[in-house]
Amino acid sequence: MAKAGTWIEPHPHGIYVRPADLWIDPSRPVPRAAVTHGHADHARSGHGAVFATPETLAIMALRYGVDAGASDNAAFAYGDGFERGGVRFSVHPAGHVLGSAQILMEYRGERIVVTGDYKRRADPTCARFEVVPCDIFVTEATFGLPVFRHPPTSDEIAKLIGAVRAEPERSVLVGAYALGKAQRVIAELRGAGWDAPIYIHGALEKMCQLYAVHGVDLGELRLVSEADKAEMAGQIVLAPPSALNDRWSRRLPDPVTAMASGWMRVRQRARQRMIELPLVISDHADWDELTTTISEVNPKESWITHGSEDGLLRWCELTQRKARALHLVGRDLEEEA
């Protein structure tokens, strides 16, 4: 049997699709890139033309300014796509953040799906992951160890609200990645009935506005920089993780430091970051989601891009599935997971 997937080439800085002369999520500037989603480790600036969902293009334009909105760029809604060099490309929901997509490529009767980052559980801020049958499934593995099982999001949100109510003279400061996690935490809070204003760090403002423009209702948001210290007592404040223990936090009333991340599952990780309230809320598939997804997609081969490849490879071996690790570089696993 001929070797599968010979028309795509995994390189440390991205996946090259030879017949189409196009890169997927390249970590350095290229003439043509298909981008799965707007996180900086997948969407870099400086490409010639970018193919992505309209939301991802909007996010890139917001982050990188005009060059990401070049005239050669093309936006595709979920299910749509284009053909280039005999390869048929289409985008499908990945459930990771607003606009995140899996990219399906069909060439000479072979189907390859590149997931980018994804999760399976419901998220009020983005379309839910769809299983796309394929021959080669190129999957992430951020949480590719069986210790990573994210609890139900509603439990973690209840924990957050409980912590605010328990100490009404303090604020709870939640570290959440500026794109995706922050908006999801806000939307989940709204879904749980938290209708008080939510205070945000200036670095989150524009992305929250972008989400609102795309129809994600985040309720009333206020900037910490424009608020009185006293009014934030008993309230929820969101900031990028880097601001948690920095001087910026001194303007809050005795904040309880929380962090929303899949890494919070491991106590030592949370302690190292001096987190008092760990919230296991992740935009990445946990172990059960990763393994279930491979089972459901049931590809001939699984290629594992980044994260704990060894764990997922071992699972594939145990379940007699063909798999290999790609060792892509430049993936930022710490902050946004």
Partner 1 sequence: MKRFAALIDRLIYTRSRNSKLALIVNYLRHTPDPDRGWAIAALTESLDFPAVKAGTVRTLLATRVDEELFRLSRHFVGDTAETAALLWPEKPLPFRGGVGVGHVEGAQPQQAPPRPSPKGEGELTVSEAVDALSSATRSDAPAVVASLLDRLDADGRYALLKLALGGMRVGVSARLAKQAFAQAFDVPVDDVEELWHAIPPPYAPLFAWGEGRGERPDLADVAFFRPFMLAHPLEEDSVDLADYAAEWKWDGIRVQIVRGGSETRIYSRGGEEISGAFPELVAAFDQEAVIDGELLVRGEVQGGEAASFNALQQRLGRKTVSKKMLADYPAFVRVYDLLAVDGNDLRSLPWTERRRQLEAFVPRLAASHFDLSQVIDASDFDDLAERRAGARDAAIEGVMLKRRDAPYVAGRRAGLWYKWKRDPLTADCVMMYAQRGNGRRASFYSDYTFGCWSDAGELLPVGKAYSGFTDEELKWLDKFVRDNTLNRFGPVREVEKSLVLEVAFDSIHASKRHKSGLAMRFPRISRIRRDKPAEEADRIASLQAMVT
- Site residues for partner 1 per CB under 8 A: 120-121, 145-149, 151-152, 245-247, 249-250, 254, 257, 265-268, 270-271, 274-278, 287-292, 294-296, 308, 310-311, 314-315, 318-319
The SS3 call for residue 256 is strand
Rounded to a whole number of angstroms, the minimum distance from the CB of residue 171 to partner 1 is 14
The residue among 261, 172, 252, 183 whose CA lies nearest residue 219 is 183
- Between residues 25 and 123, which has the closer beta carbon with respect to partner 1? 123
Rounded to a whole number of angstroms, the minimum distance from the CB of residue 334 to partner 1 is 12
Rounded to a whole number of angstroms, the minimum distance from the CB of residue 182 to partner 1 is 21
- Between residues 6 and 320, which has the closer beta carbon with respect to partner 1? 320
As given in the structure block, the two tokens for residue 251 are 């303007």
Q: Nearest 5°: phi and psi at 133?
A: -60, 145
As given in the structure block, the two tokens for residue 263 are 């890494």
Rounded to a whole number of angstroms, the minimum distance from the CB of residue 262 to partner 1 is 12
Rounded to a whole number of angstroms, the minimum distance from the CB of residue 257 to partner 1 is 7
- Between residues 21 and 296, which has the closer beta carbon with respect to partner 1? 296
- Between residues 35 and 163, which has the closer beta carbon with respect to partner 1? 163
- Between residues 92 and 119, which has the closer beta carbon with respect to partner 1? 119
- Between residues 63 and 321, which has the closer beta carbon with respect to partner 1? 321
Rounded to a whole number of angstroms, the minimum distance from the CB of residue 268 to partner 1 is 6
